[in-house]
Amino acid sequence: MKPPIFPGAPRIPSLRSLGLALVAGAELFSGDGARAADTAGGAIRFNRDIRPLLSDNCFSCHGPDKSNRKSGLRLDDPEQPFLPSKSGAIAIVRGNPDKSELVARLYSTDKDDVMPTPGSHKTLTPAQKDLLKRWIEQGAPYEAHWAYITPKRAPVPALKDSARVRNAIDGFIQDALQARGLQPAAEAEPRTLLRRLSLDLTGLPPRPEEVEAFLADRSPNAFEKQVDRLLASPQYGERMAMQWLDVARYADTVGFHGDQNQNAWAYRDYVIDAYNQNKPFDQFTLEQLAGDLLPNPTPSQRVATCFNRLNMMTREGGAQPKEYLAKYATDRIRTVGMAWMGSTLQCAECHDHKFDPFTAKDFYSMGAFFSDVRQWGVYTDYGYSPNPDLKGFTNEYPFPPEIVVESPTLQRRLQSLKKEIAQAAADFRPDPRALDLWKNQSLAFLQKHPAGWESLAPTVTVQPAPPAKGKPAPKAEVPQPASAQEPGYRLEGDRVVFEGKPGGARC
């Protein structure tokens, strides 16, 4: 089975594990930071507890904006606060709050010295000041952006009451609940539980027989068996792929202008399969970013590189190829930044920012990694903008380069049809009388209709109107033929039957 929550090797983060981790995280990370640090066993974390405090209260004057920086002090920098300033004071002395100017400024009662300055209308609570002080006591460690820190398994909190803890994630949730004096809700009844589980793992509700089987299963691991069953179902991959396909901006059409179809479904199937096979995340990454550059790439590894080609593409007359190649490249940089680096690079597309560590130069340097992705700016060969590479390409043609791939679904269907045909041939017992009858009927038909095709004349039925109150029922009106040459009409009881040539009906 696929390891559900804590796999041994890094795997593609599933919605389930991410979702649960985030719930636990949100619980732990919310609040004023001071409490969060307490629940995590006293270890203060820069990204979680300290950076938000400094960012809110200090960075406007001691941050990345050099034109507004006061006293030359940069509290966003992991080195500068530890060096003596022009005045000789050292903002932070590791492990020694009493020698740290920063602490002196937080607690100063002199309005000329206290930080944040009274004019900034920012104040820190006693708990926040204490937190900064303890962080310095603990050595004032800085941390990089979360996306660039290798994830480490957090120690599972030790709990006073661990009756509700069945796995590590429960431990974090119960810890946060206990810290807030909250009682967990009662466990859902089995039908509800299975419904939630099925929707979580496959996006589909359970079938009635699946619910009955679960209710009837009295074994202690009945629930785990359901998890295994759902993880093994092909719908599991489809459900998990949804989020990744959104991040990868998956679409079956090109997005611009005419929004023509593109053949990207093979990539969609690659992603679904990757989840169903529980493909390791590093391989999933490598194949999508550069599967074609691997030694002897398999068709599936080349299909994976469709990730780089899922930008919008144009076939619009008058579009300028180089302009669109630039658009496609920026789309690729944005997507790689968001999908793989957890970083929004896109604001650096046009200009540097005072609070963005990525510069416009970084943005385009990133693009250079992908500048050998072969692609056209405009996918047509119009007379007024000829494109010798794509001779004769119009809306009907694909968006090259494309490769021919085998569809496992079509392969399976082909195999089963072949089997059916072989079976039918084996079962066939000719009946000479039936065969003769069919031959004679067919010959007679072909003699009458040499084209092998008979056009059926329409039959027109006219219903009499319902009788009005107190009046006799009206007779059906028989339409009159326009001329004697035209085929006529015949009354059959209430029905008017027209026997004209096809297309000649008047009704």
- Indicate which single residue of 17, 47, 117, 235 sits in contact with ligand HEC (rule: CB under 6 A): 117
Under the binding rule (CB under 6 A), the answer on residue 101 touching ligand HEC is yes
Report the nearest approach of ligand HEC to the CB of residue 373 (Å): 21
For ligand HEC, the closer of residues 80 and 387 by Cβ is: 80
Smallest separation (angstroms) from ligand HEC to the CB of 120: 4
Interaction residues for ligand HEC, span 325-354 (CB under 6 A) = 346-347, 349-351, 353
94 secondary structure, DSSP code: T
- Closer to ligand HEC at the Cβ: 97 or 116? 116
Q: Which is nearer to ligand HEC, 16 or 51 (CB)?
A: 51
The string over 117-136, giving b where at least 16 C-beta atoms fall within 10 Å of a residue's C-beta and e elsewhere, is: eeeeeeebeeebbebbbebb
Out of 50, 91, 248, 254, the only residue in the binding site for ligand HEC (CB under 6 A) is 91
Query: Cβ of residue 101: shortest distance to ligand HEC, in angstroms?
Result: 4
Residue 270 neighbours by CB distance under 10 Å? 25
Q: What angle do CA 229, 230, 234 make, to 5 degrees?
A: 105
Residue 365 CB, shortest distance to ligand HEC, in Å, is: 17
Q: List residues bridging with 261 in a β-sheet.
A: 253
Residue 105 touching ligand HEC (CB under 6 A): yes
Are the CB atoms for 335 and 392 separated by under 8 Å? no
Under 8 Å between Cβ of 440 and 447: no
For 338, other C-beta atoms within 10 Å of its C-beta total 16
What is the total residue count of the chain?
507
CB of 116 to ligand HEC, least distance (A): 4
Q: Of 35-64, which residues contact ligand HEC (CB under 6 A)?
A: 57-58, 60-62
- Of residues 83 and 149, the one with the C-beta less far from ligand HEC: 83
CB of 417 to ligand HEC, least distance (A): 52
Within residues 63-82, the interface with ligand HEC by CB under 6 A covers 70-71, 73
Closest separation between CB of residue 407 and ligand HEC, Å? 39
One-letter amino acid at 401 equals P
Residue 489: is it exposed, middle or buried by C-beta count within 10 angstroms (0-12/13-18/19+)? Answer: middle
* E-only strand ranges, 60-205: none
- In terms of CB distance, is 229 or 334 closer to ligand HEC? 334
Instruction: Tell me, letter by letter, the H, E, C secondary structure of 35-91.
Output: HHHHHCCCCCCHHHHHHHHHHHHCHHHHCCCHHHCCCCCCCCCCCHHHCECCCCCEC
How many residues belong to the site for ligand HEC (CB under 6 A)? Answer: 27
Distance CA 66, CA 74 (A): 9
Q: Which residues bind ligand HEC (CB under 6 A)?
A: 57-58, 60-62, 70-71, 73, 85, 87, 89, 91, 101-102, 105, 113, 115-117, 120, 122, 346-347, 349-351, 353
